[in-house]
Amino acid sequence: MKLLQATNISHKFDYPLFEGVSLSLHSKDSVAVVGVSGSGKSTLLHILSTLLKPQKGKVELFGYDVYYNDKDKLPSIRRYDVGIVFQSHYLFKGFSAKENIQVAALLSKQEIDPKLIEAFGIERVIDKKVTELSGGEQQRVSIARVLTKKPKLLFADEPTGNLDKKTANEVMDVVFDYLSLGNALFLVTHDLELAKRCERVYALEERKLKLLKRGS
Ligand SMILES: Nc1ncnc2c1ncn2[C@@H]1O[C@H](COP(=O)(O)OP(=O)(O)OP(=O)(O)O)[C@@H](O)[C@H]1O
Ligand SMILES: [Mg+2]
């Protein structure tokens, strides 16, 4: 089943980031995008994940044209079907790790999965305030928070940037397991080894997505 189809996306700020970019994601699919800093990876992730309307082109999620004809579907798609791990976490700072995860569970009408908390090794810090957590702990809480929503489409922007290799692999094992339920992943990373765990790897360069690798 096709979960995402982006067609002929173009976007520029002070300079063009990409032109005529197309991409699709099916159930159980995973795509990684690598590229130099400033090439537009996060911007592309924001466009594909309902947060930024592209200057040109169409984004269809679950068959819905989310920026134009089916705009009315956006609130529900954002709340239930799309999960985003941001490059800068965006955890609620005054709250504990647990409260952050509880908010996501509440909003998406899901239950907190204790196995997820355990798999991410955050039980020990679950009652601490976000400001009392290390960068890597914050990163793991933010991924646990997003997975708690059980989104069909998971977008992750440099999700393991603050983690050592072993912890990064453990966290990503959970994420890849999650895809086997029929969900899909769009990953942005500077870590080529991690990127290669995805079905397809693209480099964002010269304003295009260039396929580096297909099949895992
Ligand atoms: N809202 C904005 N307004 C103006 N320029 C922006 C905006 N967002 C991003 N940019 C610019 O667009 C370019 C691409 O930014 P983006 O964050 O997509 O890059 P990136 O590939 O994710 O980089 P990094 O690897 O450093 O995270 C940058 O030059 C950035 O300054
Ligand atoms: Mg970025």
The pLDDT confidence band at residue 89, using thresholds 50, 70 and 90, is confident
Q: Which residues contact 168 (CB under 8 A, 6 or more apart)?
A: 160, 191, 194
Distance (angstroms) between ligand 2 centre and the Cα of 20 equals 20
* Helix/strand/coil for 77: helix
- 30-49, pLDDT tens digit by residue? 999 999 999 999 999 999 99
Contact status, residue 86 vs residue 152, Cβ threshold 8 Å: no
pLDDT of residue 214: 85
pTM, entire model = 0.96
In the chain, the domains with their CATH numbers are 2-214 (3.40.50.300)
pLDDT at 215 over 80: no
| Residue among 12, 42, 206 whose CB has most ligand 1 atoms within 8 A, to mutate | 42
Q: Whose CA is nearest to atom 1 of ligand 1?
A: 13
Run of H or E including 176 = helix 165-179
How do residues 149-176 score in pLDDT, each as one tens digit?
999 999 999 999 989 999 999 999 999 9
